[in-house]
Amino acid sequence: MIMTAGFVGLGHMGNPMARNLIKNQVKLLVYNRTKEKAFPLLKEGAEFVESPQELFQKTSILFSMVSNDEALKEVTLGPKGLLENEKPGSIHVSMSTVSPALIHDLRIQHQKKGITLLSEPVFGRPDAAKEQKLWICLGGESEAKNRVLPLLLFMGQKVFDFGETPEAANAVKLAGNFLILSNVEILSEAFAFIQKSGGNLAAFNTMIGEALLPSPIVKGYGKRVLDRDFKEGGFRMELGLKDINLLLQSADSARVPMPIATLLHNRLLSGIAKDRGYLDWSAIFFSAFEDAGLRDSSSTQ
Amino acid sequence: MIMTAGFVGLGHMGNPMARNLIKNQVKLLVYNRTKEKAFPLLKEGAEFVESPQELFQKTSILFSMVSNDEALKEVTLGPKGLLENEKPGSIHVSMSTVSPALIHDLRIQHQKKGITLLSEPVFGRPDAAKEQKLWICLGGESEAKNRVLPLLLFMGQKVFDFGETPEAANAVKLAGNFLILSNVEILSEAFAFIQKSGGNLAAFNTMIGEALLPSPIVKGYGKRVLDRDFKEGGFRMELGLKDINLLLQSADSARVPMPIATLLHNRLLSGIAKDRGYLDWSAIFFSAFEDAGLRDSSSTQ
C-alpha cells in the first residue's frame, strides 16, 4: 500500500474508477449512499465508511464521482457531509460533471475548512473507465493537482490542464459534450439528406470515417446510428439532457448565445417526449430522420 | 505517353490536377475560357484547343473542373460545347462541385450523344490537389469508372465509390462540405463559451485535437480560428455560400429539413454582408463571437 485515499460515489463510472485505484495499490476508503454498490469493491480490499464526513477523518485525499449538482451538494454540505471537518492541507477532487457555478461556490466553502477543491471531470464511458482510458480535465491549484496526479493517472490515459480555477474544467467538460453531441446531429442531418438523395449511407459513412472526420468518436457514433444501436453501453438521453441544461444555464450566465446547443436541447426533449429517454443520446438521430418523413421500424425500439 | 485525355477548366483546382496528369505521362489537351491560365501547362507539354467541342474530336476521355453550375452548362451545352459531338464510347468526367439536379439533367443529354457522364467531385484544397492528395467521390457507370480510375489516381490519394448514379456523388460532396463547415460553427460556439467562462482556449483546442475530435480537418480549423488565419490558401466564404445554397436547394427538393445547414447559410450571409466574403469560410467563426459580445481586432482584417 503506497497511499490511502477516499472515494464517494460508486455508480457506473465511480465503481470502475475506484477499482483502478485499488488495483494500483491504493488503500481505498469508500462511501456510497446505497451500500450494496460498494460490495464488489469491499471484496477487493476497500473499506466502507458510514458517511462522507468520516472519510476526511481517515484520509486527506478524497475523490467524488456523483451524478448531478444535487448529489454533490449533499455529500459536501449535507448532514455528515465531508465539509463537517476542519482539515487543513487536505484535498477534495470532484470528478463529476456538474455546473461551473456550483464548483465556484463549493470552492469557497472548502477554503473555509482549509480544504482545497479540485475539479477534474472526465471524458469517457464506463468501458473507458474500466480500461483506465479516461481523459481527465484538470482544474484547480497547481500544488494540489501535482499531489493527486499519480492517482489520476491510475484512472485515465491522459490529463489536460485548464489552469488554477477549478470551475474552468467544468466549462470545458460541458463544451466537450456539446461538441460530441453536435457531431451526432450533423451526421443525422447529412444521413437524412443522403438517404433521400438515393445515396449509399454505408459508403458515405466510410468516407467520413476514413477521410473527412476520422476520429474514434465520430466513427463510433456513425456506426451506432447506421446500426440503430442505441442500447448497450450507452449514455442515456436523460443524462445528455442534464448536461445540455447545465451548458445552456452556464452559457446563459456568461451571455453566450449557442444556437446549436439550443437545437440539441430541443432534440433531446423531443426524444425523451417520444419515450426514448433510456436510449443512448445519439438516438437524437431519429429527429432529423423523422423531420424528413423517414420512418424506421427501430424508432420504436 | 500512355494515354491521351482532355481537361476543361484550369482554375485553382483544375490547374494542379491537370499538371498531375501531365507529370504521369498523360498527353493532355486542355481548354480554358481564359487562355492565359493554360500557359504554364503548355510549357509542360499540354496542347491547347480552341473549344470544348474540339476536345472530344481528339480524345475520348475528358475531365472538367469548373466553378459552378452555369460554367458546366456552358462548356457542355453552350456553343462549341462538348456535346456538339456524337462520340459513342467516350467519357466525360465532371469533377466540379455542382448540383445533383444539374448532373441528373446532363446525364440524359450526354446519353443522347453516346457519351457517358461520370460525376467525380473531390474533397481537398489547391495544395492537396498539387500534392495528389485529393479524396475523390465516384458516381456513374462501373465500366466507365474502371476505365478512368488509373487517371483519377494520378490526381487523388483515395477514391470512394457511391454507385452507378452520377448525381449521388454530388449529394455526397455537398453533405461532406456541410459536415466540415458545421464543425467550424460548433467549435466557434464552444470557443465563445470557454472564453467567456474564463477558460484557456489553447488548452481546450489541444484537448479537442488530441482526444475528442482528432481529425486533421478539425485540427486545421481549430488552429485557423485561434490564429485568426483566414487569408492564405483558403476556401472563400463566397464559394462556401455557393455550396451551402446548392445543398439547401437539393435538400429542399428532397424534402429534408436541415436546421444546421440553415444556420450555416445565415452565418455565411452575415459574414459576407460584413465584407468578409473574400476570407476563408471558417471566418463564420466571428458570428458566434460577435453574438456573444466578444470583439476582436482581427475581425476587421
A10 and A156 together in one domain:
yes
The mean per-residue pLDDT over the stretch B150-156 comes to 97
- What is the C-alpha to C-alpha distance for residues B59 and B21, in angstroms, rounded to an integer? 15
Please answer yes or no on whether B168 and A198 come within 8 Å at the CB atom.
Answer: yes
Residue A280 sits in a domain whose CATH number is: 1.10.1040.10
Q: How confident is the model at residue B301 (pLDDT cuts 50, 70, 90)?
A: very low
Contact B259 A263 (CB under 8 A): yes
Q: Please report the pLDDT score of residue A297 as a whole number.
A: 62
Average pLDDT over residues A90-109: 98
Which chain B positions have a beta carbon within 8 Å of A289's beta carbon? none
In chain B, the residue whose alpha carbon lies closest to the alpha carbon of A191 is B175
Which of B175, B189, B204 lies closest to A204 in CB terms? B175
Closest Cα in chain A, distance from residue B7 (Å)? 26
Give the residue numbers spanning the domain of B157. 3-164
The reply to whether B45 and B78 lie within a common domain is yes
Question: A185 and A277: one domain?
Answer: yes
Q: How many Å lie between the alpha carbon of B12 and the closest alpha carbon of chain A?
A: 21
- Answer yes or no: is pLDDT of B178 > 60: yes
* Same domain flag for B34 and B148: yes
Chain B residues inside the 8 Å CB shell of A182: 182, 186
Same domain, A199 and A75: no
Residue B1: the pLDDT is: 47
The count of CB pairs under 8 A between chains A and B is 210
Domain identity same for A153 and A40: yes
Catalytic residue among B37, B173, B219, B231: B173
What ipTM does this complex have? Answer: 0.96
Domains contained in chain A, number: 2
Instruction: Find the mean pLDDT for residues B174-196.
Output: 98
Q: What is the mean pLDDT of residues A133-150?
A: 98
Between the alpha carbon of residue B153 and those of residues A194, B120, B164, the distances in Å are: 25, 12, 19
Please identify, among A146, A164, A182, the residue that sits at the C-terminal boundary of a domain. Answer: A164
Residues B76 and B110 in one domain: yes
Considering the domain architecture, whether residues B13 and B114 belong to the same structural domain is answered as yes
Residue A95 pLDDT class (50, 70, 90 cuts): very high
Q: Using the beta-carbon criterion (under 8 Å), do B193 and A251 form an inter-chain contact?
A: yes
pLDDT at B300 exceeding the cut of 70:
no
Q: Check whether residue A138 and residue A222 sit in a common domain.
A: no
For residue A184, is pLDDT > 90?
yes
Strand partners, A118: A93
Per the residue annotation, which of A37, A173, A223, A274 is the catalytic one? Answer: A173
Q: Which residues of A touch B216 (CB under 8 A)?
A: 214
Q: Which of A129, A164, A199 represents a domain boundary (last residue)?
A: A164
Nearest CA of chain B to the CA of A253: how many Å? 9
Mean pLDDT along residues A289-298: 86
Residue-wise pLDDT tens digits, B58-101: 999 999 999 999 999 999 999 999 999 888 999 999 999 999 99
User: What is the Cα–Cα distance from A63 to A96, expressed in whole angstroms?
Assistant: 10
Q: Given this model, what pLDDT does residue B231 score? A: 86
pLDDT tier at A2 (50, 70, 90 boundaries)?
A: low
Q: Which of A114, A141, A164 is the last residue of a domain?
A: A164
CATH number assigned to the domain comprising residue B19: 3.40.50.720
Nearest Cα of chain A lies from the Cα of B33 at a distance, in angstroms, of: 32
Q: Are residues B19 and B150 in the same domain?
A: yes
Residues of B in contact with A250 (CB under 8 A): 193, 197
Q: Looking at residue A296, what is its pLDDT?
A: 75
In 3D space, the residue among B91, B106, B109 whose CA is nearest the CA of residue B152 turns out to be B91
pLDDT tops 80 at residue B129: yes
For residue range B235-252, list pLDDT tens digits in order: 999 999 999 999 999 999
Question: How much is the pLDDT for A129?
Answer: 97
Inter-chain residue contact A203 with B176, CB threshold 8 Å: no
Question: A210: which chain B residues are within 8 Å (Cβ-Cβ)?
Answer: 158, 160
Pairing label, strands B47-48, B3-8: unpaired
**Is B297 a residue whose pLDDT tops 70?**
no
pTM of the predicted model as reported, rounded to 2 decimal places: 0.96
**Is B175 within 8 Å of A194 when comparing Cβ atoms?**
yes
Once rounded to an integer, what is the mean pLDDT over residues A239-262?
Answer: 97
Same domain, B160 and B207: no
How close does chain B come to A210, measured CA to CA in Å? 10
pLDDT level of residue B139 (50, 70, 90 thresholds):
very high
Which residues of chain B are within 8 Å of residue A263 when distances are taken between CB atoms? Answer: 259-260
Judged against a pLDDT cut of 70, whether residue B3 lies above it is answered with: yes
Q: Do B218 and A215 touch (CB under 8 A)?
A: yes
- Scanning every residue of chain A, which has its alpha carbon at the shortest distance from the alpha carbon of B160? A207
Are B47 and B189 within one domain? no
- Record: contact B204-A161, CB cut-off 8 A: no
Active site residue B274: no
Going by pLDDT thresholds of 50, 70 and 90, the confidence category of residue A1 is: very low
Mean pLDDT for chain A? 95
Residue range A237-246, pLDDT digits in tens: 999 999 999 9
- Partner-chain contact A168 B198, CB within 8 Å: yes
